[in-house]
Amino acid sequence: MEKTEKLGNLRHTLAHLLASAIGEIYKFDKIKLTLGPAIDNGFYYDIDFCGEKMTDADLKKIEDKMRKNLPKWTEWEHKEISKDEALEFFKNEYKAELINEIALRGEKITTYTCGGFTDLCRGGHLAHPSKEIDPDSFKLDRVAGAYWRGDEKNKMLTRIYGLAFETKEELDAYLTQREEAEKRDHRKLGQELDIFIFDDDVGPGLPLWLPNGAVIIEELEKLAKETEEKAGYVRVRTPHIAKESMYKKSGHLPYYADSMYSPMDCEGENYYLKAMNCPHHHKIFAARPKSYRDLPLRLAEYGTVYRYEKSGELFGLMRVRSLSMNDAHIYCSEKQFANEFRAVNEMYLKYFKIFGVEKYIMRFSTHDPKELGKKYVDEPELWLKTEKMVRDVLIESKIPYVEVPNEAAFYGPKIDVQVWSAIGKEFTLATNQVDFAVPKRFDLTFTNKEGKAETPLCIHRAPLGTHERFIGFLIEHYAGIFPLWLSPVQVKVIPVRTNHNEYAKQIFELLKENNIRAELDDSDENLGTKVRDAKNKKMPYWIVIGDKEIEAKKVTLESRLPAQAGDAGQLGQISKEELVAKLVAEVKIKI
């Protein structure tokens, strides 16, 4: 049995053990058990307590009961029963709904019994729980509300979550990582560091970027523009709305309608807020005749798009409704495809190095032939051909990837880039997609060397994803301690007393003249308060100006901890020229 399968069986077994303990404590005839699957990092069980209140404070007694019962869970008894027998045994409406569905599908109705507890189940357990489960390797985590079957029209149940691993050491490591992740939560740090806010009057999922956040956005955009200019991209700009007819032509309507805002009636025609840039870029490609000499054509845009995410799916900067896309579309011939697709992946790797991303994998999504004409455009030969082209590039480039069926874009295969932050938290960061279908819908052609019209392939790519998601990732990755080049305020100038303000202002102006983002703190506060403020705001450097500095015509430079660029704590007195040279050099090499 593979480790992942064994872990899933362990967690599923513990879900049963949890249900059994709850039934004994709260009495089986006074509550209604529903279902409890294994999930990432653990398990849960949904229960209707029928008016009984349940809180996190009750978790310990349930957990103790689970551990007390575990030695009795020696082995499983599996039994196949009829629908009528099942309905008679499980006398609650939740189990009845599941039983009727199983019977309707023509599947076997099975029960599993262990430790004297019987539950409706299709299987997937550890054969001998008492011998195979370390009693210190699981922990009940929290209580939450959950609608039955996830439908808000149904009754709200009580969901009890548990954590489970094969060993106590793995559980402890997970808890430590989670504690660190909570400290790094981008929603918390984003507020504390004045990066972004949300406002009810503006609307959910629509972030407002504060000055510090705007600095980070501009630095990322500058990096992307410099990188793309060197790679031969040209920049375009497109409007925020467009007519319904264009999105029908592209195929986004009806495929993507649920993720688009409702149309606006303008002079009898429907207009939509832009949810993607690609149809606009196709129109730009088509605006002038193209020959093979014009290809590859790489059109780039930092465009804002709007996507309707359900309120329950919104999550800080990770799931929003207004997105600033680091977007581009590459139009190329089939012969040019491999080089262009490879170059996009290499651009990802360059960004990973800059941002210190050490662990990553390309998630290669392919189509399902059964879904052609429904979920995917009905071009079976082109699907197989383009998927092979992508696969060959990944293999040749020796880039780590995993192939995932039935998750492609409707117009072609795609890659989602999965990265892990400094503490091992996984993020979906960006995408790289192949489009063999939509260019044909827009009649996009170029004249090939034989003088014939040929339809180009289109690569959709966004190496930095959106500002929103990427900055959310960076906040958590760096724990708010941004490298110097990306820090909203790079240096804080701190005069010790008011008679030091004039010299401090000279240093402040010198830094600004050299494009260093500086802040002058000439408030009537003591030195300790000013330095503490610089540390709390996670500024890379601060400069203390006192009598000695004025007399020597120098500055005392101090850095935050952990070390900035190999420095730690007070760096001592340096000249103004040395200060500027040091900071400019560090910004340039992005450390």
Output 71 or 591, whichever has higher pLDDT: 71
Residues annotated within the binding site for Zn(2+) are 278, 329, 460
Asked if residue 164 and residue 195 are part of one domain, the reply reads no
The mean pLDDT value for 310-327 works out to 92
pLDDT at residue 78 in the model = 94
Sign of CA dihedral 355, 357, 362, 363: negative
Asked if residue 257 and residue 229 are part of one domain, the reply reads yes
The mean pLDDT value for 396-423 works out to 90
| pLDDT band at 561; cut points 50, 70, 90 | low
pLDDT of residue 247 exceeding 80, the answer is: yes
pLDDT of residue 461 exceeding 70, the answer is: yes
Residue 125 CA: distances (Å) to CA of 20, 79, 150, 159: 15, 14, 24, 21
pLDDT at residue 541 in the model = 95
Asked if residue 289 and residue 227 are part of one domain, the reply reads yes
pLDDT at residue 409 in the model = 85
pLDDT at residue 305 in the model = 95
User: Quick check: is 366 in a domain?
Assistant: yes
pLDDT of residue 571 exceeding 80, the answer is: no
pLDDT of residue 570 exceeding 80, the answer is: no
User: Quick check: is 181 in a domain?
Assistant: no
User: How many residues does this entry show for the chain?
Assistant: 591
pLDDT at residue 533 in the model = 93
pTM of the model: 0.84
pLDDT of residue 520 exceeding 80, the answer is: yes
pLDDT at residue 379 in the model = 87
Q: What is the domain count for the chain?
A: 3
Per the CB < 8 A criterion, the answer to whether 432 and 415 are in contact is yes
Q: Residue 353 maps to which CATH number?
A: 3.30.930.10
Asked if residue 490 and residue 473 are part of one domain, the reply reads no
Sign of CA dihedral 174, 180, 182, 186: negative
- Give me 432's structure tokens: 């790289």
Asked if residue 508 and residue 440 are part of one domain, the reply reads no
| pLDDT band at 429; cut points 50, 70, 90 | confident
The mean pLDDT value for 302-330 works out to 93
Q: Which of 462, 478, 494 is the last residue of a domain?
A: 478
pLDDT at residue 566 in the model = 47
Asked if residue 64 and residue 151 are part of one domain, the reply reads yes
Sheet holding 518-520, edge to edge: 518-520, 491-495, 541-545, 554-559, 570-575
Q: Which of 478, 508, 530 is the last residue of a domain?
A: 478
pLDDT at residue 438 in the model = 87
DSSP assignments along 319-377, one per residue: B-SEEEEEEEEEEE-HHHHHHHHHHHHHHHHHHHHHHT--EEEEEEE---GGGBTTTB-
Asked if residue 401 and residue 488 are part of one domain, the reply reads no
pLDDT at residue 564 in the model = 45
Per the CB < 8 A criterion, the answer to whether 335 and 390 are in contact is no
| pLDDT band at 335; cut points 50, 70, 90 | very high
Asked if residue 518 and residue 440 are part of one domain, the reply reads no
The mean pLDDT value for 374-400 works out to 90
pLDDT of residue 412 exceeding 80, the answer is: yes
Asked if residue 571 and residue 434 are part of one domain, the reply reads no
pLDDT of residue 218 exceeding 90, the answer is: yes
Asked if residue 539 and residue 523 are part of one domain, the reply reads yes
Q: Tell me how far apart the alpha carbons of residues 455 and 386 are, in angstroms, rounded to a whole number.
A: 14
Output 105 or 4, whichever has higher pLDDT: 105
pLDDT of residue 508 exceeding 90, the answer is: yes
- Give me 544's structure tokens: 């203390």
pLDDT of residue 565 exceeding 70, the answer is: no
Q: Name the residue range of residue 510's domain.
A: 484-588
Residue showing tokens 């995410």: 309
> Over the chain, what is the mean pLDDT?
93
pLDDT of residue 255 exceeding 80, the answer is: no
Residues annotated within the binding site are 278, 329, 460
Asked if residue 276 and residue 133 are part of one domain, the reply reads no
Q: Residue 152 maps to which CATH number?
A: 3.30.980.10
pLDDT of residue 126 exceeding 90, the answer is: yes
pLDDT at residue 190 in the model = 96
pLDDT of residue 514 exceeding 80, the answer is: yes
Asked if residue 553 and residue 502 are part of one domain, the reply reads yes
pLDDT at residue 563 in the model = 44
